[in-house]
Amino acid sequence: MSNRAYLTVTPWARIYPSFGDLAYQADAHTALASAGCVPLTWLALFSSADLTSQTFPRKPPVTVEAPLAPTADAVARLRARRAWLQALFTDRGPIGYHIDLLLAHLATYDGAWISIELEEIAALHRDAAAWHQQLRAALTALDREDADAARPLLAEISTVMLDRRFVTLADAPAATREEQWNFFRLLGEGWARAAAWD
């Protein structure tokens, strides 16, 4: 089984838009991908109220949950959270820089709806239901600006290393392997289309 999360930007108001839809095009609708985690800045696009469930006609039927929001709302939310997140991780480095990179990348997509396809990440955990509860708790902590809860939850889901710096692209050539790991755990990477930081 694959182990990737995908940040999707599409015209369709539903989660997992790539599933069974011949109109889905990876180069137009998959904004970013990430192996083994859901990147931290992606999480900050969403509210706990954005979590949506859907049942797919498999044998047996499969019900999954993922965040879904109007792209304009998600972008506005991330912009509004930028200063708070910078303060939350001020000891690690300029996460505002990484947020700006994500915002610039998303501006190149014109879909009205944004979501994260994340079931492959949930399936990596022994208790996928508990992982989804952790996701909900992380988004709730963001909504409440609860720093004590948000910092460890965001780190756990994104797998960023809080004992390593959040480096910029200019820093990356001299960064340690762990610091480079953090860069991609903050942002993910391009999929069908390259991102500026790939």
Query: Would the pLDDT of 186 be above 90?
Result: yes
pLDDT at 116: 98
Residue 53: enclosing H or E segment and its boundaries? strand 51-56
Exposure of 67 in the CB half-sphere (CA atoms within 13 A): 31
Query: Would the pLDDT of 121 be above 70?
Result: yes
Strand-strand pairing, 51-56 and 113-117: unpaired
